[in-house]
Homo-oligomer: A and B are copies of this chain.
Amino acid sequence: MPAILLSIGDELILGQTVDTNAAWLAGRLSGLGIGCVEHRTVPDDLDHIAEVIQQCAEAAKVLIITGGLGPTDDDLTRPALAKAMGVDLTEDPASVEHIASYFKGRGRVMPERNRIQATHPQTSTMIENTCGTAPGIRATLGHCEVFVTPGVPREMKAMFEHEIEPAIQDRAGTARTILTAKLNSFGSGESDIADRLGPLMARDRNPLVGTTVANGYVSVRVRSEHEDPRQAKALLEEALAQAKDKVGPLAFGQNEVALQDVVIALLTEQGKTIAVAESCTGGLISGMLTDVPGSSASVLGGWVTYANEMKAEQLGVPMALIEQHGAVSQQVVEAMASGALEQSGADFALSTSGIAGPGGGSKDKPVGTVWIGMAYREGEAVKAIARLAILPGDREAVRDRSAKCALQLLRLQLMGEDLNQMKWASAP
């Protein structure tokens, strides 16, 4: 059952906005065994949109359109779909009420121009928007089932899951099942991970195994295909297990699982708490950890000690130590981690101090030099260790990878694994 994804908006055509919806929808469709034959993007032009909708409806059985349902004059998907269908727009009283109550719930009055979001082509039906104002639209155009959602990813996803997926699942029937999964690792390069995978990556295998790098994670991608959905699943699981075995402890989770998800799960499981003392990462580690729902049970809090005075006054790092070794040093990150542990009473503490750039580098400590500290308790004693990472990339990349190095070190520690498995953060 061929599907086409149609994204609408000048902002996409001109490159002002990245289209994240197409990837998300492609992933969900391939999970249902539905292959995309095309992905098109058109600007905010009524006639152009209407024409492309007609072309797509002729070529596909399922057409998912995202974008152009906002309340402003450049949102033209509703009239364009009506034009393609050869019908007029009509207003849905229930939707007017829904939109008005959405605004009321936020203490605001519905602007008159939002009323247009309650209109839809005659013979089409509305798809409820559980987290925004614009309802979606479901219509039939020739042999094609057309679904329209807002371009806002959160609203699009909710509509896909509540209404579109169940509707097309019924129609997909006997298609081949394509399943995909990712095994994420952090702490070594793509070549090294590929070497570990070896013949698993042969291009003629099913499941097909590949690697991808994104934001410092090296992910093993697995794609299995079979007529029998259970077989497709079994093949996928087997390849994932083999990949996990080959990659070893640097592999931390599957699909959208991030390092912080695993760290919070381990801390929660072991009933342990953490505090963080950050210099060059400036709050990123705390931000990542507290991004996980339920993290408040393990995260006590932390410090961003950008200024040396903050390191000394808030964490008790001796100013003499900073002067002797510099703020970016083994001694200082160890003292920061110990200080955070003692101040907070946490079981573990992480710390960072480094040169994120673009300025501040020197011959001895070039941009990308980052010390990562970890403190933990052994009986009554506080133990602190440090690791050195030399990270490539710009300020954003150095900060992000530093935070991930710290989280991976803590994860290995919580699992009782050898910290030296981290290729990117070496012992002093």
Contacts and interface: CB of A to CB of B under 8 A. Distances in A.
A299 B282 contact: yes
A415 to B, nearest CB: 24
Contact of A111 (B131, B192, B212, B306): B192
- Copies of this chain, complex-wide, total 2
Contact of A10 (B73, B208, B390): B208
A374 interface: no
A299 B280 CA distance: 12
Contact of A283 (B74, B195, B302, B394): B302
A16 B212 contact: yes
A396 B154 CA distance: 11
A241 interface: no
Chain A interface helix/strand/loop/mixed = mixed
A72 interface: yes
A276 B287 CA distance: 13
A11 B210 contact: yes
A287 B282 contact: yes
A282 B293 contact: no
A287 B396 CA distance: 10
Interface in A119-136: 131-132
A160 interface: no
Interface of A: 9-20, 22-30, 36, 39, 41, 44, 70-74, 106-108, 111, 113-114, 131-132, 152, 154, 178, 180, 182, 189-192, 194-195, 201-203, 208, 210-214, 219, 221, 223, 276, 278, 281-291, 293-296, 299-307, 309-310, 313-314, 343-345, 357-359, 390, 392-397, 399, 423, 426
Given A74-B210, A276-B283, A304-B304, 12 more contacts: A14-B30, A17-B23, A44-B203, A111-B195, A154-B393, A282-B289, A283-B286, A286-B304, A290-B306, A291-B399, A301-B310, A310-B344
5 smallest beta-carbon distances between A and B, as pairs: A282-B290, A15-B27, A283-B286, A15-B26, A283-B283
19 contacts: A10-B210, A10-B221, A15-B25, A15-B28, A16-B27, A17-B212, A18-B18, A106-B392, A111-B189, A131-B393, A276-B283, A278-B283, A282-B295, A283-B289, A286-B287, A286-B304, A293-B357, A314-B314, A314-B343
